[in-house]
Copies of this chain bind each other. A is one copy, B any other.
């Protein structure tokens, strides 16, 4: 992991072993493999952007590998490599592209340097929730576009995890108006950072392991990370008093399973379908886990650690939303593929929001009426 110079969103170093969840996947996988010893065994490496068993993300990758291995009766045996074990966290895509590893687990926002359009398949400021992203990918043409974006790299993508709506971040002062963003140094990578810059802030990109100290020493004024489940483990409440919602910059961050095209297509049809179902399962498993676990962590932050929970004022949200639209338009203007993806995104977005206006949103507000 020493070779990682630039950490982006969700990457992390220095997680204590005590907070890790033991998975036990490899033992079970071996047992299944023995049962089917007569069948030809294909061994695959899965490289990931996550530290070993990092809650939600690393455990999600382990679960995916275990599912494939067990569902295939051990015929397709997937071994997981944490960030830095085989390749550095941010070389996952390259490793899968050239076949060093047959598959990887990561997030598409990391590959904007290779293909700017990739950013639309991870998290878009004021964009899709998890449910909307999944619907766009699987029933709105999104996945086909994602495949097109990765095709020149010999890589096949699938959605394989979602964090749900994240939190808006940790601040050491209140955000009462847009003025409060002027000159604000906030750890906010990716598209969200570009949006922050447009409203007068200074986005900073820091490795996960450096966030706490930077916030505590005043090197940065604010930071976002993921949500209560991960933020509590990071101890960010010790370095900032205010915890803002909502996570306008990442309303449903999608994680990806990526495959070397030659390796995937060499699989027999049944194993290809097992891999696809396992990815779809992993996609749901992670969202279910984050949805269930964030609240206990949020309660702990508020009740035990005296964190002040705040929401961004409307004026700020309006400005951020306008800045987000400008940012996306700029990304779309960069190359024809980004324009094509953005057009699809925008079209589906307007339609699904119209539907959710009378369904998800109407209901989620209706049950709170008093």
Contact = CB atoms under 8 A, between A and B. Distances in A.
Contacts of A317: 366, 369
A359 interface: yes
Contacts of A281: 277, 280-281
Contacts of A361: 364-365, 368
A212 interface: no
Identical subunits present: 2
B129 A70 contact: no
A278 B351 CA distance: 29
A241 interface: no
A296 B165 contact: no
Interface in A277-305: 277-278, 280-281, 283-285, 287-289, 291-296, 298-299
Contact of A135 (B292, B298, B360): B292
A155 interface: no
A367 interface: yes
Contacts of A283: 284
Contacts of A35: 268-269
Interface stretch (A19-27, A177-185, A245-253): A245-253
A140 interface: yes
A289 B362 contact: no
A269 B245 CA distance: 44
A4 interface: no
A368 B356 CA distance: 11
Contact of A288 (B135, B248, B368): B135
A19 B114 CA distance: 44
B352 A295 contact: yes
Interface stretch (A145-153, A258-266, A306-314): A306-314
Interface in A131-182: 131-132, 134-140, 164-167
Contact of A363 (B165, B351, B367): B165
A352 B257 CA distance: 28
A154 to B, nearest CB: 25
A134 B273 contact: no
A131 to B, nearest CB: 6
Given A273-B70, A314-B369, A358-B246, A134 B363 contact: no
Contact of A362 (B270, B292, B311): B311
B270 A72 contact: yes
A354 interface: yes
A32 interface: yes
Nearest to A310: B358
A359 B270 contact: no
A318 interface: yes
Contacts of A246: 358-359, 362-363, 366
14 contacts: A35-B268, A35-B269, A129-B360, A129-B363, A130-B131, A131-B287, A135-B288, A165-B359, A245-B362, A248-B363, A295-B355, A311-B358, A318-B369, A318-B370
Given A140-B292, A361-B365, 9 more contacts: A165-B360, A165-B362, A280-B285, A284-B284, A294-B355, A298-B355, A298-B358, A309-B358, A360-B364
Which A-B residue pairs are the 3 nearest by beta carbons?
A: A139-B292, A135-B291, A246-B362
